[in-house]
Amino acid sequence: MAKDILTTDNIRLGADLGTKEEAIRFTGNILVDNGYVDNTYVDKMLEREEVTSTYIGNNVAIPHGTEDAKAAVKETGLSIVTAPEGIDFGSGNTVKLLIGIAGKGNEHLEILSKIALVCAEEENVEKLVQAQSKQEILDMFAEVN
């Protein structure tokens, strides 16, 4: 049976992360720890970030692996990390919400569109960043179907 793409185990609230690299590793390691990806995927997430920033605006970054990281993906999954203090992602961009993605095949494209719908609204991002429970985050993403 396939794993759920997003569960409370994949969410961390109020993380205190100093650097962009630390933030991406933290986000990726949640996917590793919960069996979605091999640990090589985290390095591919950092590689992707060097090629092009995964910052999408509204204080949101969506770290994910490079195209050749597909082999490291066991199951499609998401990790969500809130960092209310913000992390400097360079070029004056501050990230308070990290959404790590690992997609089998092309499943990540559908997931990305759902994330984009939620994160397009600044007030939604603020609600996610200020969430007091993991369930609040699950509920916000559940509404986008």
Of the pLDDT bands very low, low, confident and very high (cuts 50, 70, 90), residue 142 is confident
Mean pLDDT, residues 22-46: 98
| Residue 108 a catalytic site member | no
Mean pLDDT, residues 22-27: 98
Q: Is the Cβ–Cβ distance between 96 and 88 less than 8 Å?
A: no
Q: How far apart are CA 15 and CA 18, in angstroms?
A: 10
Q: Is the Cβ–Cβ distance between 45 and 24 less than 8 Å?
A: yes
Candidates 3.40.50.300, 3.40.930.10, 3.40.30.10, 3.40.50.720; CATH matching 8-142: 3.40.930.10
Q: Where are the beta strands (DSSP E) in the chain?
A: 11-12, 55-57, 60-61, 77-88, 94-102
Task: Provide the pLDDT for residue 44.
Answer: 98
What is the model's pTM?
Answer: 0.95
**Phi, psi at residue 96, to the nearest 5°?**
-115, -10
Residue 43 vs residues 4, 75, 95, 130: alpha-carbon distances, Å: 24, 17, 20, 29
Q: Is the Cβ–Cβ distance between 15 and 81 less than 8 Å?
A: yes
Of the pLDDT bands very low, low, confident and very high (cuts 50, 70, 90), residue 144 is low
Please pick, among 44, 48, 64, 108, the residue that the annotation labels catalytic: 64
Q: What angle do CA 68, 6, 102 make, to 5 degrees?
A: 5
Task: Provide the pLDDT for residue 2.
Answer: 62
Mean pLDDT, residues 20-25: 98
Mean pLDDT, residues 119-141: 96
Task: Provide the pLDDT for residue 105.
Answer: 83
Task: Provide the pLDDT for residue 112.
Answer: 86
Tens digit of each residue's pLDDT (9 = 90 or more) over 86-123: 999 999 999 999 999 999 888 888 888 889 899 999 99
Of the pLDDT bands very low, low, confident and very high (cuts 50, 70, 90), residue 14 is very high
